[in-house]
Amino acid sequence: MKERIIQFGEGGFLRGFADWMLQKVNEQTDFDGKVVVVQPIKNGMCDMLTAQGCEYTHICRGVEGVETKKIDVISRCVKPYDDFNAYMALAENPDFRFIISNTTEAGITFDANDKQTDKPASSFPAKLTQLLKKRFDLGLNGFVFIPCELIDKNGENLKKCILSYADLWSLGDGFKAWIEKDNIFCNTLVDRINTGYPKEEKIDLGYEDNMINTSEYFHLWVIEGYNGLFNEIPFDKCGLNVILTDNLAMYRTRKVRILNGAHTSLVPYALLEGFDTVKSCIDDEKMNAHIRKCVFDEIIPTLDLPREELVEYADNVLIRFANPYIKHYLSSIALNSVSKFKVRVLPSILEYIKRFDKMPETLIFAFAKLIAFYRTDMTNDDEEIVKFMKTASVHDILAKTEYWDADLTFLEAEVNKYL
C-alpha cells in the first residue's frame, strides 16, 4: 500500500477515530492507503507504537456489544524533535495527499516566536509551514487538510496560521498563492468518546499489546469539504458515519443543543437529587423521563434538520449515555454550568418560545434547578459567578445580561414555579 496520509498525533483519539475508519476503508475498498504518524510534541507514544510494528488493537464497547479489531493502517512514525530531516523528507513524496491532525484545542495557534530555522518549529502550524514550504519549492501538489481539533472552523483557522507564518518568515507571494490555490482546508466536527488504554482492566487478547485503545461504538465525522472527497477516500462505501456537507454549522448546532444540551439540562437537577453519573440517570425512570422530555419534546422542535435525522441522532445520544463502560461523572460536566447553560440550553428555550409562543416547561424547570444548584456548595465555577448566583434573587439573576446576553426577567414567573 502507498503512504497517502500524514497524521499529526499518535494519541488514543486519532487511533480510535480516523485510523479505525481508515482501516475499514482499506478492508472494504481499493483505497489501499497507509498513514505516516508524526509525533507533534517532543514526548509522546511513538516509540511504544513503533516497538510493536505500529499495529494495535482497538475495542469498541457499549450497550451494542464489543467489537475487537486489529489496526495496521499506520506504516511508520516520524519524530521531528529526534530526526528533523526525516520529517522534512515527507514533503518529497508526491503520493501524500491528506493531512489529518489532532493536536488538542490549543494546537492550532500562531506563535510569533517560531522561526523558520528552528528544527522543528514549536507550534503545529509552524511545523506544517516548514513542510509546506519545502513541498512548494519542490514543485509538488498541495494537500487536503482534515483537522480534528475541537475548535470552530478548525480548517480555516489552520490556514490563517500558516499564512501568518508565511508573512512572518517572508516566504513570498508565490508560496501564499500556492497555499490558497493548491491546498484544501476542510472544517470538521468530530464526535466519539475515546476511553483510551484500559488501565484498570485486564483484557486478555491472547497476545501482548501495550497500545490497546478503547472507545464507544458511536462515531461521527462531519467534513465541510469538496464534492470529490468521497471519490478519493470512499468513507461512504463502508457504512461509516462520515457526512460531507457544505454547511457544518447545522451539525454543530445539533450536537451542542442535543448532546451537550441534554447534559446541561440534566446535571444540576441530577446532582441535587443525589445522582453521580450520566448512566445512573439513564437507569432511573424519573431522570430518564426528564432527559427525554427535554430532548424530544422541547429541543428537537427548535432545530432545522429533518426530524427523522434529529430523532436518530438523539436516540444515539441516549444509547451513548447508557454505555456501561463509560463513567461520565456529573460533577465533571457541572464545571462552569452558567456559561454552558447560556450556550447549550438557553438558545433552545428562546427558540421554542419564538416558534410556539409558549414556555418549554421542562427546560424552564432545568433553569430553575440550575439556580437552585448554585445555592449549594456543589458548584465549580468562577468565584464571582458562584458568589453572585448563591446570594442574588431570581429576578437579579435573570436580569444579569452579562451572563445570558439578554434580559431574561420575562421568564421570572415561570422559573419561580419550580423553586
What is the grid cell recorded at 95? Answer: 503520493
Please provide the average confidence, as pLDDT, over all residues in the chain: 97
Distance set, CA 278 to CA 218, 258, 283, 288, 296 (Å)? 16, 15, 9, 10, 18
pLDDT at residue 104, as a whole number: 80
In CATH terms, the fold of domain 2-246 is: Rossmann fold (3.40.50)
Identify the architecture of domain 249-416 in CATH.
Orthogonal Bundle (1.10)
Q: Could you give the CA distance from residue 235 to residue 245 in angstroms, rounded to a whole number?
A: 14
Number of neighbouring beta carbons within 10 Å of residue 80: 23
pLDDT at residue 106, as a whole number: 81
pLDDT at residue 80, as a whole number: 98
Nearest by Cα to 242 from 257, 260, 229, 256:
229
Q: Could you give the CA distance from residue 308 to residue 287 in angstroms, rounded to a whole number?
A: 24
Per-residue pLDDT, averaged over 261-265, amounts to 97
The amino acid at 377 = D
Per-residue pLDDT, averaged over 404-416, amounts to 98
Give the residue carrying C-alpha cell 502550524.
125
The amino acid at 259 = L
The amino acid at 324 = P
Q: Could you give the CA distance from residue 415 to residue 365 in angstroms, rounded to a whole number?
A: 7
Kindly indicate the confidence band of residue 326, based on its pLDDT and cuts at 50, 70 and 90: very high
Whether residue 266 has pLDDT greater than 90: yes
Classify the phi-psi angles of 239: left when phi > 0, otherwise alpha if psi is within -120 to 50, otherwise beta: left
Nearest by Cα to 73 from 62, 59, 85, 57:
57
Distance set, CA 236 to CA 74, 229, 242, 244, 335 (Å)? 21, 10, 7, 9, 37
Close Cβ partners of 361 (under 8 Å, ≥ 6 residues apart): 298, 414
Per-residue pLDDT, averaged over 276-296, amounts to 98
pLDDT at residue 26, as a whole number: 98
The amino acid at 260 = N
Q: For the segment 376-398, what is each residue's pLDDT rounded down to a tens digit?
A: 999 999 999 999 999 999 999 99
Give the residue carrying C-alpha cell 494495535.
56
Q: For the segment 336-352, what is each residue's pLDDT rounded down to a tens digit?
A: 999 999 999 999 999 99
Per-residue pLDDT, averaged over 161-180, amounts to 98
Per-residue pLDDT, averaged over 187-211, amounts to 93
Kindly indicate the confidence band of residue 180, based on its pLDDT and cuts at 50, 70 and 90: very high
pLDDT at residue 131, as a whole number: 98
pLDDT at residue 397, as a whole number: 98
pTM above 0.85, yes or no: yes
Per-residue pLDDT, averaged over 64-77, amounts to 97
DSSP state of 300: G
Q: For the segment 309-323, what is each residue's pLDDT rounded down to a tens digit?
A: 999 999 999 999 999
pLDDT at residue 372, as a whole number: 98
Enumerate the domain spans of the chain: 2-246, 249-416
Between 99-108, 162-171, 183-192, the lowest mean confidence (pLDDT) is in: 99-108
Q: For the segment 87-117, what is each residue's pLDDT rounded down to a tens digit?
A: 999 999 999 999 999 998 789 999 999 999 9
Q: Could you give the CA distance from residue 419 to residue 408 in angstroms, rounded to a whole number?
A: 16
Whether residue 375 has pLDDT greater than 90: yes
Per-residue pLDDT, averaged over 128-138, amounts to 98
Nearest by Cα to 218 from 258, 182, 178:
258
Per-residue pLDDT, averaged over 239-249, amounts to 96
pLDDT at residue 200, as a whole number: 84
- For 318, how many CA atoms within 13 A lie in the half-sphere containing its CB? 18
Beta bridge partners of 123: none
pLDDT at residue 322, as a whole number: 98
What is the grid cell recorded at 335? Answer: 464545571
Per-residue pLDDT, averaged over 67-89, amounts to 98
**Dihedral (CA of 161, 35, 23, 11) sign:** negative
**Dihedral (CA of 25, 31, 34, 35) sign:** negative
Chain-centroid distance of CA 388 in Å reads 32
- Residue 164: burial class (beta carbons within 10 Å; 0-12, 13-18, 19+): middle
| Strand 213-215 relative to strand 194-196, pairing | antiparallel
**H-helix or E-strand containing 398?**
helix 394-398
